[in-house]
Structure 1
Amino acid sequence: MAERTDVLICGGGPTGLITALSLAKMGIATMVIEKSHKSQQARYGRASTLYPRTLELLDQLDVLDPMAEIGFIARNYVNYRAGKREISGGYQMLFTQMHNTYLDYVLNIRQKYSEEIFKASYEEKGGVMLEGTELLDLVHDSAASDGYVLTAVIKDVASGDIQRVQCKYLVGADGTRSTVRELANIPFAGDDSALKWFRIDAVVKTNMPDSRVGLASIESPTHGNVLWMALDHGRTRIGFALPAATFEKFGVDITEAQAIEEAQKAVAPFSLEFEKVDWWTLYSIRHGVADSFRAQKNTFLVGDACHCHSSGTAQGMNTGVHDAVNLAWKLGGVLRGYYDESILDTYELERRPEAQRVIDQDKTISSLITGRIPEKLAKPGANPFEVLYQFTASTMQFTLGLGINYKASMLNRPAKVGLVASGWRGPDVPLQRPGSRCSVRLFQVTKNVGKFQILVFTGNPASTKDKLLKLRSYLDSKDSFTTRFPDIAKFLTIIPGNASQADEYLGVDKFGQAFYDVDGGAATKYGFHMGEGGIAVLRPDGVLSFAAQLDQGEEVGNYFEQFAKPVESDVRNGVEVVVGEAKEVDLDM
């Protein structure tokens, strides 16, 4: 008899593991299959750079702290032109544009170490990962009455044993050569460029100043804009464009010794000695995006399986994490009965345009890094590196993830009040718990367990008491959305100043857990006045989805009516009984 799981995830890299972990935190039964044995893979190479918004998403899944223990935290950058240090040139905007985040750094950690942390957290939640297992075939049975419409045929690579796994949904996180994408017959339009890039991770000696500052670039007349990155465990990553003449000379058969020689040429005039080489690669740049991120309603693609580009702005793993988090809370909510299945349409609606934007920008950036100015930006006498910095500055908020935004939909409804537009990341703000003088961040207390966060900014109760009473009366009524949709949201009450007892100060029972906005800065960031207050609704991924006036609880209910599924109930002997299947699960509440 075939095994069963709610969601089968093909691919045990960062994107697949974050998808699995996010679902596991919601109590969803999952299984991850991975063709390789992770313990046998080299500990080096591949994705290494994570930006602030990605760090926030990982923090809300409780995996950032162990990553920060291992990785190199970079808050500084230096550029070298003709062997001279430029404090204000180059990619300084990488750090000067890190606005409105407490995670104002870049984390350099090699993918192997990230994967180990994700896998350990996933398995602690009861997740199952089968390594050395590949997907062979996929059978779709839309007539299955129990919801297990997909049967995956999988094989143990070592033994050749065949197994069948039935699932309700399949997620393809299996990279650019995705088997899931192929079996689902999803076209993947892409184009190969003539650009050849090189990456090497090693323990090195150099006379380059500030070699461990975090991030650096060297403007090379022969090897493009050279990347110099401080990594975990005292390692350094060096990346550069391989000159066409060199590739013609050596081709794909270039040796490690020849690769080292090219790296030494690339960082000239600085000296470079390699004490230990961990990993190196020569690769071609390809840009592409899948025609669809979903097939037959039950199969989804995430990460490199649905989009590919260069590593020029380190978007691969960052974009994959965003895909995973975006899909997982929606998929988990459907499986738990929180949402109508139509909410799954918003995954592609939101993530595919972002992937296309990454690709469009990367085509320009990868050309400029190589030292070539695209025709659309070409001007007489233009310096490709200066053009690169100018173009990068114009796209940096998006690169950092802080400028990502989703268009209006059933999920992102134009806000009635406030400063933050729906579809944009809600600001992370400092708060204090009752009795504490030590601040905590909003994102620290709004962990991602697949539930919306409803922030009730009370304003000054002397001015807002009537509105607070109206909101409390509505929420306590049988007509409230909290009665119809009891499991989809958590409440936080955010009170200005610092009171001795929240309920007494407000004149009504607080809404969920109470926190204090000591200087009023949190309310200001969200655009709520002390005399008015307001309600902000954050999605499980921290995106602001709706905002209303303090006494407009019904409007919040109308928002949820667009996609939430009401709990069915029956009245028996005067007692209300919830009808439907329920699972015991620790949601870290």
Structure 2
Amino acid sequence: MTLESSVDVLVIGAGPVGLLIAYQVLRAGCSVHIIDKDDKYQSAQYGRANAIYARSAELLDQLGLADDIVQQSHFVRESYTYNDKGERVIPGRVWNFVENVADTKCALRSVENARRYIEECIRDSFAALGGKIHDLTECVRLEYTVDPADGVMATVKDLRTRTEYTIRSKYLVGADGGQSFVRRYLNVPFEGERTEDQWIRIDGKVKSNIPTPRAYASIESTKHGNVLWAPLDRGVTRIGYVYTSELRSRYGAKVTKELAVREAIEAVKPFDLEFERVDWWTLYIIGQRVAATYQPHSGIVLVGDACHTHSSGAAQGLNTGVADACNLGWKLILVLKGFAKDDLLATYSTERRAAAQRVIEFDRKISTLMANKWPEGMERPADKHINQVLADLFDDAKGYNTGLGISYEENLINVQSPIGNACSSVGPGARVPDLDLLKPGTLEVIRLHAATPNRAVIYILAFVGDPRITLPSISPSSAAVDNLTQKFARGLVQPMTVVALANNRIGVEEALGCLPSGRVYYDRRSEAHRRFEVDLRYGAVLVLRPDGYVGFTAKMGADGVDAVEAYLKGFLIEDTQDGKKSVS
């Protein structure tokens, strides 16, 4: 056994979620070691997760990863519903939440891409930073103490050579899937249940006379439940249906590819279906479970399927995992670098576990309804067909399915201002809306999310309103913000100024009457101020978390900046030393 050099973070599991963590950590200048028991470079990885919805697309875009994924993806902006006679149901049901996603400026809405290609894009970006995946390597033992300063010692085995070596890390991230070794080794309860429902998913190149072959579709079959038709990249189509109790009684538990294909053809009737090839298929039992905690030890955290599993009924698996990784990444980096208190990391578990519980609660209902059964304890309305009840549930959860409506409860980093919330429509814990701003001089349009990329920095956005009115308070507020940024590590707190101007062609200093605090953007026709419900007469200061959620708001002015400083000191560590590295 040889001793490996110590690293800041050991990631177990090199799927998309584990790679997202490793990428963020390495990009921030911290050391990372990532292992996976599978052959990540040679084995063909078809199937599994395939859909990226609007919020996940935003999160990936803010990490600088969306462009490469876009090049290999199929975009879905339409959905259709057909009854068992092949007649179109109007308005559409179930998948229509992918349509008309208006609450984001990001070009991506619903992206269909086989998991292996999504994974390849993230892996290539990780490799471009000098990162390496140690595949065919599994973790066999963990050692840790109650003292977080001791870190975590992992014994891993190289499956090629059968040799073992150890890795000491300050933090260990378990991203190793639903059968997580890390979760099981630490005896973390996986709360929930497995249902009797089983589903079949099959990907391949197909021919069909369905009228909308390259759009989402649901076919309301009486024999196979609510059948999924999902176009993927490279001309591939995914078809999903319920392996009902009737089918189980007819065929038994042993399902073959031939049987899966035969029943897929039956499931989409009255439309014709022919498989030119089959890339992947699976039969799986639905289990809805969530880990009792996402941080079972001060130095160990769980992400993705390692801490939550559910059906693919709403295609939330990858999307929930992406949100996990983007919530955890910046917190882990700031704590690692000594810029934030350890308590910051604990907010990952509370925020993301609550989000997963909401997914699972929704999934229990829709996965049962998709099988043409009524969920236990759910009242059955006399005036609605089961498919309409399913559609109503999807409509109610539209904001959650797209991810755009997900918000977090008050905690250490989502704090109500003691002097009043100056942005009436956007409170702490809410996703910040994406808005178009203008760059001074060139008047190029830039999205707010593009102007605030996730680089593990805290953004202070000063909405200064109409400078003709707020001029007396702009200069002292800018000076106070500049002073505030000096109290923390260089580059950790980055100010921005958003100005509502009738004349967008005048210069920055002329418009503000002073040198601005940070970068300046013009708010065309005061659209951003209106969206945030910022009074043009008073302005507002908004603190934006790296992952695009609002942390705190206050009115512009000395009192407001003082309140922001008190908020930041609640989880950040003041810079009392010279020469700290910038995280920007």
TM exceeding 0.5? yes
Aligned to 1:574: none
- The structure 2 residue matched to 1:101, chosen from 97, 100, 104, is 104
SS, match of residue 325 in structure 1: helix
8 Å contact 1:451–1:540 — kept in the other structure? yes
Q: Distance in 1 between matches of 2:434 and 2:14?
A: 30
Over aligned residues, Cα RMSD in angstroms? Answer: 1.7
CA offset at residue 274 of structure 1? 0.5
Please identify, of 223-232 and 449-458, the stretch whose mean Cα deviation from structure 2 is larger.
Answer: 449-458
Please identify, of 58-67 and 371-380, the stretch whose mean Cα deviation from structure 2 is larger.
Answer: 371-380
Please identify, of 118-127 and 284-293, the stretch whose mean Cα deviation from structure 2 is larger.
Answer: 118-127
Partner letter of residue 221 of structure 1?
T
Residues 92 and 244 (structure 1), Cα distance of their counterparts in 2 relative to 1, 3 Å cut: closer
1:441 to 2:441 alignment? no
Q: Distance in 2 between matches of 1:189 and 1:506?
A: 55
Alignment of 1:29-428 (within 5 A): 29-81=31-83, 82-91=85-94, 93-95=96-98, 98-103=101-106, 105-142=109-146, 147-212=149-214, 214-375=215-376, 376-380=378-382, 382-415=384-417, 416-418=421-423, 419-428=425-434
Alignment of 1:414-563 (within 5 A): 414-415=416-417, 416-418=421-423, 419-477=425-483, 480=484, 482-497=486-501, 498-551=504-557, 552-563=560-571
Q: Distance in 1 between matches of 2:191 and 2:350?
A: 18
Q: Distance in 2 between matches of 1:519 and 1:26?
A: 37
Structure 2 residue ranges without an equivalent (≥5): none
- Percent of paired sites with the same residue: 36
Please identify, of 526-535 and 398-407, the stretch whose mean Cα deviation from structure 2 is larger.
Answer: 526-535
Please identify, of 242-251 and 333-342, the stretch whose mean Cα deviation from structure 2 is larger.
Answer: 242-251
Q: Distance in 1 between matches of 2:147 and 2:325?
A: 28
1:568 to 2:572 alignment? no
Please identify, of 491-500 and 221-230, the stretch whose mean Cα deviation from structure 2 is larger.
Answer: 491-500
Residues 254 and 179 (structure 1), Cα distance of their counterparts in 2 relative to 1, 3 Å cut: same
CA offset at residue 382 of structure 1? 4.3
- The structure 1 residue matched to 2:11, chosen from 4, 9, 12, is 9
8 Å contact 1:405–1:425 — kept in the other structure? yes
List per-residue Cα deviations over 1:410-435 (Å, max 9, x = no partner). Answer: 10011521120110000110011122
CA offset at residue 381 of structure 1? 6.5
List per-residue Cα deviations over 1:192-244 (Å, max 9, x = no partner). Answer: 111110001111001110111x2111010100000001100000000010122
SS, match of residue 258 in structure 1: helix
SS, match of residue 295 in structure 1: coil
Aligned to 1:575: none
List per-residue Cα deviations over 1:83-108 (Å, max 9, x = no partner). Answer: 11224131264045723112362111
Q: Number of matched residues? A: 571
Q: Distance in 1 between matches of 2:161 and 2:412?
A: 48
8 Å contact 1:338–1:487 — kept in the other structure? no
Q: Distance in 1 between matches of 2:265 and 2:31?
A: 50
Q: Distance in 1 between matches of 2:239 and 2:51?
A: 13
Q: Distance in 2 between matches of 1:158 and 1:251?
A: 38
Partner letter of residue 68 of structure 1?
V
Q: Distance in 1 between matches of 2:331 and 2:445?
A: 31
Q: Distance in 2 between matches of 1:413 and 1:298?
A: 26
Q: Distance in 1 between matches of 2:293 and 2:412?
A: 20
List per-residue Cα deviations over 1:43-70 (Å, max 9, x = no partner). Answer: 4200001110111000001111111111
Residues 476 and 427 (structure 1), Cα distance of their counterparts in 2 relative to 1, 3 Å cut: closer
CA offset at residue 533 of structure 1? 1.6
Normalized against structure 2, the TM-score is what?
0.94
Residues 111 and 96 (structure 1), Cα distance of their counterparts in 2 relative to 1, 3 Å cut: closer
Q: Distance in 2 between matches of 1:176 and 1:519?
A: 49
8 Å contact 1:485–1:564 — kept in the other structure? no
